[in-house]
Amino acid sequence: MNEFWTSGWVRKLVVSLRWAVCFAPVALSAHVVETGHATVSLSGKQVFVAVSIPVAALSGADDNADGVLDGSEIQAHQAHLIAQVQSGLTLEGDGHKAVWSQLVLTPAQLPDAPAAGAPVPSSAPPHIVAVGAAAWDRAPAAVTLDYGLWSRTPLAGFEASGPVVETLKVKVSRIQDGNTLAEESGFLSPHQARLELFAPVQRHVANFARHGFDHIMGGADHIVFLVALLASGISVRRWAALLTAFTIAHGVTFGLASMGWVSVPAALVEPAIAASIVAVSALHLLRRQVALKWELLLVFGLGLVHGLGFASAMGEEGTGPWIAFSPYPVWSIVGFNLGIEAGQCAVALVLLALVQGLRRVFPRQDSSVWQRTAGALAMAMGLFWLVQRVV
């Protein structure tokens, strides 16, 4: 136990983490706050962790209900708090969980947040610092961190700014004989509480592809746009061309925005996405025949807007810095766009199945009837979103 605390790297971890907590920037976007830091050091089979944990994420220890855990409260509830931290913070190496051998909690009280309605504070809410050691049976190549210790109650002082998304900034180092061999960083949030580090490039591509697929399937406005676009003319060749143009376009702006090279406020992007739905639906309902090359140009332009929307959505979730911190940013962008393309193809296949079903059930019915119905519904939803996002 004494050797654990007298090790030089332990002292450095604790000191660096305390400074990081005290001076961590809060605003990553309008409603995203960086509420914690974690430092992880890998040395052979051992892993050493120092992580700041919001007091609001822990229960059963704040005896005086002041929102801060002091030394006496931590000491009185040490076993209970350690159990919560161990259950909410797990480390895997090549699929095997590390077994905790040491874990100690210390106070890390920060300045009080201002009252509701006051400006956003320049420091994170009260935390405690957890410092510990764990080990695997063998030295892992890739490490996965699962973090489920998010605040159970609203963060004091942030209520006036709307919903708050917390993030945890993680820095992981691989050390041998006191020398740093490799280092990676990343962000965790309640939307993405699992972070994989030192993984091969194909794993990064797969992870970001899954994230891209989830984004397109969870974005109602993007799906409605696709339906309005594809329903205006059933042709595999046309669909393939339009989806490809759309993917390339939103891939460009998404990549630029993710790397921080382009920044457009969500207040402009979100209404523009709604307007794109209205524009595509209107062209169809007005029966405007547009040559494929001009249609591709239009879709490419609208895809640029949607790419900014994807980046804006990731920023609101607290996962915006992922790609910028990825060791393979270009491949991460490629993976994300592959996931988006897979989601678009899934939407197209479902739409095609519905078309075939309608044609069999109503063989004498002109296809233009349901196509125009789909266009009208898409326009109604687009107008609703446009008014909602502007007003």
Tell me which residue of 109, 133, 144 sits closest to 123, measured CA to CA.
Answer: 109
**Helices (H), ranges, the chain:** 2-6, 8-23, 71-76, 78-88, 201-218, 220-231, 236-258, 266-285, 292-317, 322-325, 329-361, 367-390
Determine the residue type at 370.
W
Domain ranges in the chain? Answer: 2-199, 205-390
- Give CA–CA dist 212/314, Å, rounded: 10
- Give CA–CA dist 118/189, Å, rounded: 25
Is the four-CA dihedral 285, 288, 289, 291 of positive or negative sign?
A: negative
Decide: pTM greater than 0.75: no
**In which residue are the tokens 């049976």 written?**
137
Q: Are 221 and 273 within 8 A, CB to CB?
A: yes
User: How many angstroms separate the Cα of 48 from the Cα of each of 16, 196, 371?
Assistant: 14, 16, 60
Q: Are 35 and 20 within 8 A, CB to CB?
A: no
Determine the residue type at 376.
A
Q: Are 336 and 205 within 8 A, CB to CB?
A: no
Using only C-alpha atoms, the chain has a radius of gyration, in whole angstroms, of 25
- Give CA–CA dist 182/210, Å, rounded: 26
**What pLDDT is attached to residue 354?**
84
Q: Which residues pair with 323 in a beta bridge?
A: none
- Give CA–CA dist 305/192, Å, rounded: 25
Residue 278, both tokens: 């209205």
**What pLDDT is attached to residue 331?**
86
**What pLDDT is attached to residue 231?**
78
Per-residue pLDDT of 97-141, as tens digits, reads 999 999 999 887 544 444 444 444 444 568 889 999 999 999 998
Residues 6+ apart with CB under 8 A from 36: 21, 24, 51, 52, 53, 54, 124, 127, 166, 167, 168, 169
Percent of the chain whose pLDDT exceeds 90: 14
**Helices (H), ranges, 134-285:** 201-218, 220-231, 236-258, 266-285
**In which residue are the tokens 């196509």 written?**
371
CB atoms within 10 A of CB 71: 12
For residue 127, the surrounding DSSP H or E stretch is: strand 127-135
- Give CA–CA dist 47/138, Å, rounded: 11
- Give CA–CA dist 245/339, Å, rounded: 15
Parts of the chain with a pLDDT under 70:
1-35, 109-125, 153-165, 287-290, 314-325, 365-368
Three-class DSSP category at 36:
strand
Per-residue pLDDT of 370-379, as tens digits, reads 778 888 888 8
Is the four-CA dihedral 64, 68, 74, 77 of positive or negative sign?
A: positive
- DSSP structural state of residue 125: P
